[in-house]
Amino acid sequence: MQQLTLTRPDDCHLHLRDDALMQSVLPDTARQFARAIVMPNLRPPVTTTGQAQAYRSRILTSLPTSSRFRPLMTLYLTDNTTAKEIQYAIRSGAVHAVKLYPAGATTNSDAGVTDIRKAYPALEEMQRCGMPLLVHGEVTDPAVDVFDREAVFIERVMIPLLRDLPELRVVFEHITTRDAVQFVTDAPDNVAATITAHHLLYNRNALFSGGLHPHYFCLPVLKREVHREALGKAASSGNPKFFLGTDSAPHAQHTKESACGCAGIYTAHAAIELYAEAFEQLGALDKLEGFASFHGADFYRLPRNTSKITLRKESWQVPDDLAFGEHRLVPLRAGELISWKMSG
Ligand code: DOR
Ligand code: ZN
């Protein structure tokens, strides 16, 4: 296939940062996607509806007036999030989900949840009104191997949570293992998952081939090949529980190329093209539109987009780095080729 026309996709998991950093990365997403679920892990985190509305306004004012891109906001769940805050969030119409970061699991997660039971008043209200919970599914127990943290999270947190709140709508974010694929596949319809392009395209060897590669470091970390294969099967299965969420997470070059490098891979510059490559490798380009443009919108109970985008089979070289406020960032595939190009 040389050309592919799709309904314009939505990115159901995106880090946009703020201020000048946001202004550098936002055009990449706005060019390809109609909407994005915007993560709340700013400093300080977006814990109230008022903060989410203010953040949304900053995003909207950074867009050119001709842009039809719309940010869909999220709240950062803490031990102290109240049921009232959930009610404000619902009433605002601007907040579409609440994000659970286990405290200490990843970038800007120190204010996250220390014990899920502390968040039950908020979670019960979310179950009652149908507000989705987005889960960073990794335990933080230092005794658990970093490659096992997602699988252990299923046993220790996901299963008890859904036993207690069986109708809570849950998105298991950026899944990385066959264990998570199995769990989501077997769960009832209120449980879904996002899958990133980088977890479809790479296994953990990418981190270590010929030396240490910080630009392949993200959380949850890349896993073994068997897990990558399971993700590919799930993404290309046509099962509406699985949908596109890039988890594009920009960091300045010097903060990744460091003795303690930040977690996060920037893919927004070529997001839909990277997914097209992954689906082509899977022999499943016909399943890309459902995964990228329909399943997420349906889960979030949003109208499907009506405009289209076109991708052509055409190699192009990714720049070595991109502007990121006053810094530079190194995108995925920097200096290398991508075999699909969005043309409009
Ligand atoms: O790799 C990651 N980067 N994983 C996350 O969960 C957070 C993200 C970020 O904000 O940089
Ligand atoms: Zn993320």
Q: Give domain status of residue 140, yes or no.
A: yes
- For residue 108, the domain's CATH number is 3.20.20.140
233 part of a folded domain: yes
User: What is the average pLDDT value for the chain, to the nearest integer?
Assistant: 97
206 vs 192: CA distance, rounded Å: 27
- Pocket of ligand 1 from Cβ distances under 6 Å: 15, 41, 106-107, 136, 218-219, 249, 263-264
Going by C-beta distance under 8 Å and a sequence separation of 6 or more, which residues neighbour residue 165?
Answer: 120, 123, 124, 127
Q: Please tell me the predicted confidence (pLDDT) of residue 108.
A: 81
Say if strands 133-135 and 170-172 run parallel, antiparallel, or are unpaired: parallel
Query: Per-residue pLDDT for 256 more than 90?
Result: yes
- Number of compact structural domains in the chain: 1
Span from the CA of 13 to the centroid of ligand 2 (angstroms): 6
Burial status of residue 11 (CB atoms within 10 A of its CB: 0-12, 13-18, 19 or more): buried
**Would 330 be classed as within a structural domain?**
no
pTM, rounded to two decimals: 0.98
Predicted local distance difference test score (pLDDT) of residue 226: 98
Would the pLDDT of 305 be above 80? Answer: yes
Contacts of 9 (CB under 8 A, 6+ apart): 32, 33, 34, 244, 272, 292, 293, 305, 309
| Rounded distance from Cα 251 to ligand 1 centre (Å) | 9
315 in a domain, yes or no? no
Please tell me the predicted confidence (pLDDT) of residue 80: 95
205 falls within a domain: yes
For residues 96 and 89, give the distance between their C-alpha atoms in angstroms, rounded to a whole number: 8
176 inside domain: yes
**320 within a domain of the structure (yes/no):** no
Specify the residue with its C-alpha closest to ligand 1, atom 3. 264
Distance of CA 206 to the CA centre of its chain: 20
Q: What is the pLDDT of residue 160?
A: 97
Split at pLDDT 50, 70, 90, the class of 68 is: very high
pLDDT 10s digits, 308-323:
999 999 999 999 999 9
How much is the pLDDT for 292? 99
Boundaries of domain holding 126: 10-307
